[in-house]
Amino acid sequence: MMLRRTLVLILAGSIITVSCNEHAAQNQIKKSGIPIGERIFYEIFVHAYYDSDRNGIGDLNGVTAKLDYLQGLGVSGIWLLPIHPSPTYHKYDVIDYYGIHPDYGTMEDMKTLLDEAHKRNIMVIIDMVVNHSSSEHIYFQEANKGKDNPFRDYYVWSSDTFIQRQEPHHWHSNNGDREKYYGFFWKGMPDFNFDNPDVREEIKKIGKFWITEVGVDGFRLDAVKYIYPDSLVQKNVEWWQEYRAFLEDSDDDFFLVAEIWDESASIGPFLDRGIHAAFNFELSFAIEELLIKRRDPGLGRMLGEIHERYQEASDSFYDAIFLKNHDQNRIMSLLIDPRQAKLAASILFTLPGIPFIYYGEEIAMLGLKPDEYIREPMVWDLPGQDSGQTNWIEPRHSTPGKVTPVKQQMEDNTSLLFHYKKMISIRNEHKILSTGSIRSLDHIPDSFCAYELYNADNKILVIHNLIDKTAKLDSELLKSRGRVLYLSGTYREETRDLQLDPFGTLIQYVD
């Protein structure tokens, strides 16, 4: 096993070309009648979301109980973090790929969730973690018994001390065994050996089970780039092509979105008949930079070039866009001014791609690492007012007084939750915001972030004020004003002067 390395993400600061985002039209993923490219997903850590059986831990029935809330928010897809039996709270080390963790419920509960979600036109995808298993998985327990065990070759072993010295933190001793096993993330997560045909067939069988027998709508694929070492990228790509082709033999209406922490140029090959979409970490970091520095680093140009790179690899891809996820500090803990939460949402929901909301972002939940504290309980109501409130961990950041609960925000039309509903409603009504191409606008002060979304029929202008003061913009861009979809500020028709509120946004059609 050769060295696996994590590449540093490099944000593009100067991009001069853009590209179309309508390439995905060929891909006929359309669960519940809504094309995948027009959906909005919501990421749920079940453990922390809503508790139906009053034991303090969230569960699948709790998610089902909140489907009306999610439908009211306007989302049309949910991503469940790992739900399989596991010895850890996060469950990224799986013991049984065919089961449901008992804390979360039963397979019947899962099927009820799927049925109820589909009634509301909400897709459900689940985390699929196949780079490694738990060290408590029966396969690894068998592999531990010695070289002659038939499951030994399900994992990666070596007695070569030179190889082990190249990655000392990834090779782990095993009860006096002369050979060490490879676990990239930690000793409790031994990596599968994908050169073993039996492993490949088992992983494909697991995927088929969840799609064809259980009825999930796809997977968020964990640690996609780590199946093989960095030096064997093509083998990695070919595995995911094989995986998708196998699943398509049974059901071609599913969605694969992948975690690949890497540059867009390295992600592109995976989109060629492998995964359907990859999370855009470059964009996430660029939005963070824009919000913190209050200067546009060239967001539209950067995203356009990313799509151009993707299109070089595949004429049928989707871009999974997001602010932050369960592995990152929450966006509101990185910002100084709470008003920027609305700006962050306005940016996310006016960029082409498939947006993913991390649970609690819509109410400005806070969170800083370690990981447990970016996965704190969802805040539904004031303390003691909702028996479904989870308490799996005592929150450090999203505490009473710091985060206004869902119930109170639903009653306030100036709240962040109300703003999320507004932005999502606009996006759902105007599909060009999801599927249009993006073009950056030049000759505008970098205290604004401005871009156009366009297709063959329409064009939309988007301008964001990045500073905490009312900002005036007198520009040729405003000469061809059409229907205004959203404006936080004022516009004088006779002078074509636009004044945007602090952290305000304009969304309008261009005639």
Mind telling me the catalytic residues? 222, 259
Task: Give the DSSP per-residue string, 374-418.
Answer: GSPPP--SSTTS-TT---SS--SSS-TTTS--HHHHHT-TTSHHH
CA 180 – CA 145 distance, rounded (Å): 13
Q: Which residues 6+ apart lie within 8 Å of 128 measured at CB?
A: 206, 207, 210, 219, 220, 221, 222
Asked if residues 363 and 405 have their Cβ atoms less than 8 Å apart, the reply is yes
Q: Which residues are paired to 78 by β-bridges?
A: 42, 124
Concatenating the DSSP letter of every residue in 307-336 gives HHHHHHH-SS-EEEEES--TTS--GGGS-S
The length of the chain in residues reads 511
Task: For the beta carbon of residue 10, count every other beta carbon within 10 angstroms.
Answer: 11
For residues 406 and 267, the answer to whether their CB atoms sit within 8 Å is: no
For residues 408 and 364, the answer to whether their CB atoms sit within 8 Å is: no
Three-state SS at 52: coil
Phi, psi of 50 (to 5 degrees): -150, 135
Distance CA 189, CA 175 (A): 16
